[in-house]
């Protein structure tokens, strides 16, 4: 069964609104979670590393004020797309790491459409 849950699975909203996406590890504690974005017919692009209890680490070119990440507990990280515009429309995916050399497990993704 799924070990990482992502919610919502899809969302449509108007330009200028903010959208929050949740990522939960279901049966383990994750000190680190990751957020990816995927455009159609492209590969996953790592956006940021979410660290429990501290600030997220963003990849080069990703606007930290645009994509707010909060990792307030060991089982929950949230990604908020602020003042979303049509170019932010994409497939957003999170993953969680059990630690050590254990593999990351991914959520089922959130399809975001900004009108």
Tell me which residues in 47-86 interact with another protein (CB under 8 A): 49
Q: Which runs of E-coded beta strand occur in the chain?
A: 4-7, 10-13, 19-25, 32-38, 45-51, 57-58, 67-73, 76-81, 90-97, 104-106, 110-114
For position 108 contacting another protein by CB under 8 A, the verdict is: yes
Residue 57 CB burial class (10 angstroms; 0-12, 13-18, ≥19): middle
Extract the tokens encoding 93.
């995916």
For position 103 contacting another protein by CB under 8 A, the verdict is: yes
- In terms of CB distance, is 17 or 32 closer to another protein? 32
Give me the least distance between CB of 106 and another protein, in Å please: 4
Q: Binding segment for another protein among 11-19, 67-75, 76-84, 98-106 (CB under 8 A)?
A: 98-106
Which residues would be at the binding site for another protein (CB under 8 A)?
A: 4, 6, 32, 34, 36, 43-46, 49, 91, 93, 95, 97, 100-101, 103-109, 111
């Amino acid at each position: 069964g799924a070990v990482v849950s992502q919610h919502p699975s899809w969302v449509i909203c108007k330009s200028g609104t903010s959208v929050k996406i949740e990522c939960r590890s279901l049966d383990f504690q994750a000190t680190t979670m990751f957020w990816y974005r995927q455009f159609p017919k492209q590969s996953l692009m790592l956006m940021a590393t979410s660290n429990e209890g501290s600030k997220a680490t963003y990849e080069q070119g990703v606007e930290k004020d645009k994509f707010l990440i909060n990792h307030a507990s060991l089982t929950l990280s949230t990604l908020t797309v602020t003042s979303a515009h049509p170019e932010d429309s994409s497939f957003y995916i999170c993953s969680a790491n059990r630690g050590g050399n254990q593999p990351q497990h991914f959520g089922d993704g959130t399809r975001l459409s900004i009108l």
